[in-house]
Amino acid sequence: MPYVVCAEEIERRWIAHVPDLPGCFASHPERETAISSIPKAVETYLEWCAEHGLRVSGLSGPMMVSEVVRAWHYEDDYEVNAFFAADRPPLLADEMPEYERLLLATRQDLEHVLVGISEDDLHKELSGEEWPVVGILNHVALAEQWYFDRMGIALPTRELPADPLDRLVKVRDHTLANLLNLASRIGVVTLSGETWSARKVMRRTLWHERDHTDHIAKLKPRLG
C-alpha cells in the first residue's frame, strides 16, 4: 500500500506532509522538490523517533500524492492554510499518549538548539530575518495558543507571561493538560475562511515547532 503525502503552499514555499507520521514534512520553494524530498524526510523522521525512544512503524510501498493545495487569502491579510482529508477524522483518546510523546520530543529539540545562545544573542537582530531568536520563540508560543483557540480550548491571553521563554512553557503546559479535551472535539470549524479540526491543530503544532527549531539551528552560526 502506498503512503499518503499532502502538500500545501505557505508563505511562498511548499510544505509536504506525511499524515501518518505526525510532524514529518519536507519544505522547499519549489513544489516538486518538496514532494520529492519526502522519502528522505521519512527516513530522517524515523531515525529522529528512534533517538527519542518513540516507537513508530515504518511505511512501506511508494508514496502517493493525495492533495496539493495552493495558498489563498481570506480578505487581504490572512493566508488560509490547507485542510486535508487526512485532517478530518477525529482524534482518538488512545492516540493522545503518542501525541504527548511527540510534543515532548519536539520541545526537547527546541530547548537543545537554544543551548549556548546568550541572552544578548537571543535578542540580536539579523539581516534578512523578520525576528531575532527571541521573536521566533514568541511566535512559536503564540501560534500554538492560536491553534488551540481554533477549537475553543486555548490558554486565555490574559494568562500569557510577558517573557517569551515563559510563554513557551506556559502554553505547552496548557497544551499537554488539554490533549484529552482536544480529542473530545470531534467536528470541524471554519473561522475566517479556514477550516480546522483537532487533528489539523496537532499537525500544525508539531510541524510549526520542528520547522522553527530547524530555523533557529540555521541561524546559530550567525550569532555570537
Handedness of CA 150, 156, 157, 163 (dihedral sign): negative
The pLDDT, as a whole number, for residue 33 is 98
Domains, the chain, with CATH or none: 1-83 (3.30.2390), 88-224 (1.20.120.450)
Q: Which residues of 155-189 are buried (b: 16+ CB within 10 A; e: fewer)?
A: beeeebeeebeebbebbbebbeebbeebbebeebe
Per-10-residue mean pLDDT, the chain, length 224: 90 95 96 97 94 83 92 86 96 95 98 96 96 98 98 97 97 97 95 96 98 97 90
DSSP code, position 29: S
Asked if residues 146 and 118 have their Cβ atoms less than 8 Å apart, the reply is no
pLDDT at 58: 66
The pLDDT of residue 76 is 75
pTM: 0.95
Q: What would the grid cell of residue 29 be? A: 520553494
CB 165 within 8 A of CB 141: no
Q: What is the model's pLDDT at position 79?
A: 92
